[in-house]
């Protein structure tokens, strides 16, 4: 079978169209921005939070158990002052047992949710000046002070003492806190080893 290139296909469709058509019309737009500067992010410890092996008897039986807090260094470096936001995509989407705005830890037997992990950005310093962490839950229409980092909001940074408005920056240094919570043990099948399987992707979006 002969394969048509996109250009050939367009010409073929145009040639086969009737010469007179009566139809309504609408508009189709293709938009975007090509930014002159790019940013890269880096996390200490390879971005890995390893809780090791936990004994089932150490989990609270009837209430959620919060595991040891994990702290990593977060750095973002841009080629020039750049307006950007951070999000964390949940690669275990739909498995957060505590709050859907948090990140999941995977499931047991494809159905039982294990728990959740929350991420937060603390003590951010941008271009040698302390800044505030802010988030927008409506796509950037409004902003509020919050340490949240996740898939349910955009995270940016604002100058202290100023309105909660994102600012352009070149170098960001901050602490990324991960808080892992396991559901009550009486909700889990703990006859075999159960893997904690949280996974997220830190994403930079140019604003």
Question: For 44-86, how does the pLDDT look when each residue is reduced to its tens digit (9 = 90+)?
Answer: 999 999 999 989 899 999 999 999 999 999 999 999 999 999 9
For 81-96, letters b (16+ CB in 10 Å) and e give ebebbbbbebebeebb
Question: For 116-164, how does the pLDDT look when each residue is reduced to its tens digit (9 = 90+)?
Answer: 999 999 999 999 999 999 999 999 999 999 999 999 999 999 999 889 9
Domains of the chain, earliest start first: 41-46+53-206 (2.60.40)
For residues 207 and 205, give the distance between their C-alpha atoms in angstroms, rounded to a whole number.
Answer: 6
- The confidence band for 13, taking pLDDT boundaries of 50, 70 and 90, is very low
Query: What is the predicted pLDDT for the residue at 189?
Result: 86
Strand 70-82 to 154-158 pairing: unpaired
For 117-155, letters b (16+ CB in 10 Å) and e give bbbbbeebebeeeebbbbbbeeeeeebeebbbbbbebbb
Q: Are 94 and 110 in contact (CB under 8 A)?
A: no
For the chain, what's the residue count?
Answer: 207
């Amino acid at each position: 079978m002969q394969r048509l290139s996109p250009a050939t296909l367009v010409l073929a469709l145009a040639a086969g169209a009737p010469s007179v058509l009566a139809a309504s019309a609408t508009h189709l737009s293709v938009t975007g921005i090509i930014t002159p500067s790019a940013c890269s992010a880096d996390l200490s410890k390879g971005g890995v939070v390893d809780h090791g092996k936990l004994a089932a008897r150490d989990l609270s039986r009837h209430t959620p158990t919060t595991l040891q807090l994990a702290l990593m260094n977060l750095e973002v470096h841009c080629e020039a002052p750049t307006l950007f936001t951070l999000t964390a995509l949940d690669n275990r989407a739909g498995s957060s047992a505590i709050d859907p705005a948090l990140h999941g830890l995977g499931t047991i037997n494809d159905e039982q949710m294990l728990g959740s992990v929350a991420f937060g950005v603390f003590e951010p310093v941008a271009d040698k000046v302390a800044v505030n962490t802010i988030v927008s839950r409506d796509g950037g229409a409004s902003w509020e002070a919050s340490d949240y980092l996740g898939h349910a909001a955009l995270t940016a940074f604002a100058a202290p003492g100023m309105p909660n408005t994102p600012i352009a920056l070149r170098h960001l240094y901050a602490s990324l806190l991960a808080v892992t919570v396991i559901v009550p043990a009486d909700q889990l099948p703990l006859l075999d080893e159960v893997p904690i399987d949280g996974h997220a992707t830190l994403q930079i979006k140019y604003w």
